[in-house]
Structure 1
């Protein structure tokens, strides 16, 4: 019982990636929304999407790597995890884009 309480307490500690994750996804979401308001075509959106929010992406990726390495992951494993998280965020938010009809 005590060990499960300790595990829960550790999980509730502040996520060191939260602020950078939120900044990155907020930036992507704003770009998606502004693209729809500007009535961009799918081709325009796709061409620009990969180039937006790079500072926020870098900050999030670095925070993920630091967190995983602090938990004794190897650098390559931490980088792979961070790259997957970035890719997932971009894919999920790109899925919200609806081109004009």
Structure 2
């Protein structure tokens, strides 16, 4: 059920953004969404294993691993989107990271 809700929300978000993005940004968003969706599946599997773990320590370790998977995927997705945002030097995109 969670996966279906995530997929529906992702599709709605992509549809809303499609009109104001260039092709590179659209492709990057699709790749980033795929990275996040795969991480969600992996994290859910780890959380399910945690629920069935025989000890609290094992459950905590599995939940921590699930959190790490999600965090890493978010960082990777952000990097994918930022790279696409810089494809034109940041002249026309709204997701260009600030200069440091």
Q: Whose relative contact order is higher, 1 or 2, with alpha carbons under 8 Å and at least 6 apart?
A: 1
